[in-house]
Amino acid sequence: MMSGLKILLQQKKAVAGLIIIVALCLMALFAPIIAPGAPSARVGRSHQPPTVEHVFGTTKMGRDVYTQFVWGSRTSLAVGFATGIAITVIGTAIGLIAGYAGGRTDAALDLATNAVLVIPNIPLLILLASFAGTVGPLAIMAIIALTSWPWGARMTRSQTMALRNRDFVTAARMIGEPAWRVLFVELLPNLLPLIGINLVGSIIYAVVAQTTLEYLGFGDPLQVTWGTMLYNAQNSSAIILGAWWDIGAPAAGIALIGLGLALVNFTFDEIANPQLRSGPALTRWLRLNRQRNRSLGGA
Amino acid sequence: MYISSRRLGVYAVALGFAIVMNFTVPRLMPGSPVDAMIAQLGPRATPAAVEAIKARFGAVEAPLAAQFLDYLKGLATLDLGVSVKYYPQTVTEVLARSTLWTLFLVVTAITFSLVVGTLLGAIAAWRRGGRFDTVVSPFSVVMIAVPPVIIALTTLFVFGVALRWFPVGYAYDPSLDPGLNFTFAGSVFYHAILPVLTLSPYLIGEFQTTMRSSMISVLGEDYVTMGRAKGLTAATVMLGYGARNAMLPVLTNLALMLGAVFGGSIVTEIVFNYPGLGLTLFTASVARDYPVIQGQLLLMTLATLGANLLVDIIYGVIDPRLKDGSA
């Protein structure tokens, strides 16, 4: 685990990604300090461009975009992270059980996984959301989590199947360890890099899906989130009127969190699958190789 | 031609799941969607229309099993019910209008991205760790993580509103009459450029990433060394020996991504006011036109399943090893 963290911190991309994520989380956490005032208060004229007083400008309703941006990050990030965790837990549990149990349990779970995987997610989300009417963050979370676990389940299942017949697992079974102990103490630690990839990917997906649903108007329009900010901006035709700041702020926030997570995931991928590496390790090896060739050529 | 019965089983379950969702969700939800829909119909609510809506959404005195059977019978005869917003048009008519536009958009974007993405992936793998790889590969991963909403709004603002290079709505110039002539075809392409450019970054990112990792393992194979040893040009070895064999995982990934592509096209069509299935779905969801929303889910599920089946068939042709049932 320590060595994994060490590799992670050696990678410039991962560090850059982590810095972005931590900065955004800190902003959400300290929202009352860095952006005092209610995000839905009318503080200026309609669609004012950025000025010293309103650094990100104002919305059609005369609300301060900066305050909304800072406060909106709270729900957007919280729902994104919580949903990502929920997706990962469901996917990992189903994949572990299917891969370890084998036989009929596996056949049934694998069938369900593949079936949910091929059903287009967003139309399904829209069907559920439109019948539920306007939905709060919790309902959005539940809807996303219940429709998007199959990716993780598939990855975890195949990795578990590869590990299942290793000697250490057989040994643990032989000395009579109960199934839950084999699963959680023997197998789970070996799946950590995979779970990491799954978690980061799921958070990215959750942020995207949540934004999409809210942008389409299925969120609670009174809640200030990056998604509902986009929805309100779209409804007040901010883009056509040239009020780019109204759309730009939430869009930048979502793009930034996506960038941060993607950078971390790229490194996770390389840790789990060293073949893909192109970072320091490979560069060092290439340099070494070149020097060796040169010295050979010189000799 | 070979398709495993297991895959067919998966598709059957997926279709069944979509149908059961369509059937149960309106019946489980609190409040009555039926009343809302009848209210929405207003003066057009003839007894026949009310009856049709009631039967479809379970506001009738019949056991659930009988209702479900009726529902299945309706589906089998392609009767998806009537649209509430466009009554008396049926759902099938409403969907038929927009399907072609979405198909055009999605197929163009996939073809374009497949060529660009696999090429970028192949080159990145060929020069792994080089300057090209260290710039393009992380960029692809980032492209996957940026939501289509953001890309759509950005391209709309930059190229549509600020620079005014491209139109910001509709599938063709409304002043033209649809017909098979160059002016019309040109207008269709001109209007499709921004939506296609919006759909592509995600696809290119996915194709590039998959291609790169698949190509890296292929390049380690003996036949690639053999190709080099024969003194073939780098391009021949890279494309004819490496890329050709590395394409298989990309195809699998393409089948799995279709759902996400449809999701992306929904958002893109809404932002660019493009008259495809996504825009229809959006107007339907705003008007709470449940029959259309349901028909949409079924249609998109069927399309995804059909495309998966097609990929399975192509796979069997490209990779004869699959016929042994070993994979």
pTM of the prediction?
A: 0.80
Which chain B positions have a beta carbon within 8 Å of A283's beta carbon? 129
Q: What DSSP line would sit under A161-212, residue for residue?
A: HHHHTSHHHHHHHHTT--HHHIIIIIIGGGGHHHHHHHHHHHHHHHHHHHHH
Containing A120, the helix (H) or strand (E) segment is none
Pick the more confident residue, B252 or A171. Answer: A171
Mean pLDDT for chain A?
81
Test B217 with A275 for CB contact under 8 angstroms: yes
Of A111, A129, A217, the CB nearest to B10: A111
Q: How confident is the model at residue B175 (pLDDT cuts 50, 70, 90)?
A: confident
Among candidates B133, B263, B290 on the partner chain, residue whose Cβ is nearest the Cβ of A120: B263
Q: What is the arithmetic mean of pLDDT over A264-292?
A: 61
| Helix axis angle, A137-147 to A65-101, nearest 10° | 30
A80: distance to nearest CA of chain B, Å? 13
Residue of higher predicted confidence among A189 and B46: A189
Chain B residues lying within 8 Å of A132, measured CB to CB: 29
- Distance from the Cα of A175 to chain B's closest Cα (Å) equals 34
Is the pLDDT confidence value at A29 over 80?
Answer: yes
Dihedral sign for Cα B306, B308, B311, B313, please: negative
- More reliable by pLDDT, A287 or B214: B214
Contact A121 B282 (CB under 8 A): no
Is the predicted pLDDT of residue B144 greater than 90, yes or no? Answer: no
What's the mean pLDDT when you consider all of chain B? Answer: 81
Q: Which of A254, A262, A283 sits opposite B144 (nearest CB)?
A: A262
Q: What gap in Å lies between CA B215 and CA B224, rounded to an integer? A: 11
Over range A64-91, report the average pLDDT: 90
- Report the chain B residue with the minimal C-alpha distance to residue A109: B10
In this complex, which of A13, A130, A239 lies closest to B288 when CB atoms are compared? A130
* Straight-line distance from the first to the last Cα atom of chain B, in angstroms, rounded to the nearest whole number: 15
pLDDT confidence of residue B120: 94
In whole angstroms, what is the distance from residue B300 CA to residue B176 CA? 30
Query: Is A127 in contact with B22 (Cβ distance < 8 A)?
Result: yes
Residue A281 has pLDDT above 50, yes or no: no
pLDDT for B249 equals: 82
Question: For chain B, how are helix, strand and coil distributed in percent, rounded to 5?
Answer: 80, 0, 20
Q: What is the mean pLDDT of residues B99-124?
A: 92
Picking from A11, A118, A213 by the largest number of B CB atoms within 10 A of its own CB, the best residue to mutate is A118
pLDDT digits (tens, 9 = 90+) for B237-258: 888 888 888 888 888 788 778 7
Compute the average pLDDT of residues A184-199.
Answer: 86
Q: Which of B21-30, B52-61, B150-159 has the lowest mean pLDDT?
A: B52-61
- Percentage, residues of chain A above pLDDT 70: 86
Q: What is the CA radius of gyration of chain A?
A: 24
Q: Is the pLDDT of residue B152 over 80?
A: yes
Listed range (A165-174, A234-243, A245-254) with the worst mean pLDDT? A234-243
Question: Per-residue pLDDT for A1 more than 60?
Answer: no
**Which region among A56-70, A143-157, A227-241, B47-61 has the lowest average model confidence (pLDDT)?**
B47-61
What dihedral do alpha carbons B147, B151, B152, B154 form, nearest 10°? Answer: 140
Buried b or exposed e, range B50-71, using 16+ CB within 10 angstroms: eebbebbbbbeeeeeeebbeeb
Instruction: Please tell me the predicted confidence (pLDDT) of residue B109.
Output: 93
- pLDDT at position A199 is 92
SS3 B25: helix
Calculate how close chain B gets to A181, using CA atoms only, in Å.
31
pLDDT of residue B324: 52
> Which are the contacts of A144, defined by CB distance < 8 A and separation ≥ 6?
A83, A87, A125, A205, A206, A209, A210, A213
The torsion angle over the Cα atoms of residues A165, A169, A173 and A177, rounded to 10 degrees, is -150
pLDDT at position A52: 72
Q: Are A128 and A143 in contact (CB under 8 A)?
A: yes
Give which of A187, A190, A220, A225 is closest to A206, Cα–Cα.
A225
CA distance A215 to chain B (A): 8
For B306, nearest residue in chain A (alpha carbons) = A118
B128 contacts chain A (CB < 8 A): yes
Contact of A259 with chain B, judged by CB distance below 8 Å, is answered with yes
Chain-chain contact of B262 with A261 (C-beta, under 8 angstroms): no
Chain A, nearest residue to B205 by Cα: A262
Per-residue pLDDT, B204? 93
**CA distance to partner chain B, nearest, from residue A292 (Å):** 18
Of residues A1, A110, A127, A67, the one with CA closest to residue B14: A110
B124 to chain A: closest CA residue: A278
* Beta-carbon contacts below 8 Å between A and B: 169
> Shortest CA distance to B317 belongs to which of B242, B254, B251, B259?
B251
Mean pLDDT of B277-302: 84
- Single-letter amino acid, residue B152: A
B108 with B192: CB under 8 angstroms? yes
| Interface residue A131 vs chain B (CB under 8 A) | yes
Is the predicted pLDDT of residue A293 greater than 80, yes or no? no
Hey, which residues 166-225 in chain A have their CB within 8 Å of chain B? 204, 207-208, 211-212, 215-218
CB contact under 8 A, B259 and A120: yes
Which tokens in the block code for residue A95? Answer: 């994949």
At residue B272, the pLDDT reads 87
CB atoms within 10 A of CB A14: 22
Query: Is A125:A219 a contact under the CB 8 Å cutoff?
Result: no
Question: Among residues 277-316 of chain B, which lie with CB inside 8 Å of chain A?
Answer: 281-282, 285-286, 288, 290, 293-294, 296-297, 300-301, 304-305, 308
Shortest Cα distance from A179 to chain B (angstroms)? 29
- Mean pLDDT for the stretch of residues A89-112: 90
- pLDDT at position A297 is 44
Select from A88, A89, A216 the least CA-distant residue to A140: A216
Confidence of residue B98 (pLDDT cuts 50, 70, 90): confident
Q: Contact A126/B144, CB-based, under 8 Å?
A: no
Residue A205 has a pLDDT of 87
Residue B281 has pLDDT above 50, yes or no: yes
pLDDT tier, A7 (very low <50, low <70, confident <90, very high otherwise): low
pLDDT band of A87, cuts 50, 70, 90: very high
pLDDT at res. A282? 45
Question: Which residues numbered 277-296 in A keep a CB inside 8 Å of some CB on B?
Answer: 278, 282-283, 286
pLDDT score at B320: 64
> For residues B29 and B287, which has the higher predicted lDDT (pLDDT)?
B287
Please, what is the angle between helix B91-126 and helix B244-271, to 10°? 140
| 3-state DSSP of A267-278 | HHHHHHCHHHCC
Place of tokens 């969801």: B285
What average pLDDT does the segment B47-57 reach? 72
User: A215, B212: Cβ pair inside 8 Å?
Assistant: no
Which positions in chain A touch B263 (Cβ < 8 Å)? Answer: 120-123, 212
CA gap A101, A99 in Å, rounded:
6
